[in-house]
Amino acid sequence: MGHFVSEVTRKRISEAHKGMQGLKEEKSGSWKGDKVGYSGLHKWIRRQLGKVNTCEHCGKQGEYIFYWKQGKLEKRWDIQYANKSGEYKRDFNDWIYLCAKCHAKYDGWGFQKGYTPWNKKVKDLIYASKK
């Protein structure tokens, strides 16, 4: 149910909230800047750079993948943004887009640490992309 709020109080609250709706990014009171977390930064990157259609490494075209999560059918785009430096900065040049398979290989899942499966050192890839 709730409690009674007078018309005067409603108007005061309404006036106080004017101009607050739609505050984005740095203007928002919730903006964390460089102290953003892992998932928050990935969401920000996706919003800024948009959905990508092709893997930078193998050239695979993006598609939706459907999977079950906690009893619900979910879908996700299989081209992902991967961080180059591991520092997770708000620098667009510090991100590449890879398909899920290449992203797993790039991050070293099941491979020698520091090397990609295509036998290039991660540091070499980072420096090559800056040129």
Q: What is the mean pLDDT of residues 107-129?
A: 52
Q: What is the mean pLDDT of residues 54-80?
A: 87
H helix runs in the chain, sequence order: 7-17, 38-49, 100-106, 122-130
Q: Residue 15 to residues 6, 21, 77: CA-CA distances in angstroms? A: 14, 12, 41
Spatial distance between the Cα atoms of 85 and 93, rounded to a whole number of angstroms = 10
Position 26 scores a pLDDT of 63
At residue 60 the predicted structure's pLDDT band, cuts being 50, 70 and 90, is very high
Q: Are 54 and 61 in contact (CB under 8 A)?
A: yes
pTM reported for the whole predicted model: 0.57
pLDDT tens-digit series, residues 26-36: 666 566 666 77
pLDDT(50) > 60: yes
Q: What is the mean pLDDT of residues 102-125?
A: 59
CA 118, distance to chain mean position in Å, is: 25
Counting beta carbons within 10 angstroms of the beta carbon of residue 97, is it exposed (0 to 12), middle (13 to 18) or buried (19 or more)? buried
Which are the contacts of 114, defined by CB distance < 8 A and separation ≥ 6? 108, 121, 122, 123
Could you tell me the two tokens for 84? 């180059």
Spatial distance between the Cα atoms of 41 and 92, rounded to a whole number of angstroms = 11
Q: Are 95 and 45 in contact (CB under 8 A)?
A: yes
pLDDT(113) > 70: no
At residue 61 the predicted structure's pLDDT band, cuts being 50, 70 and 90, is very high
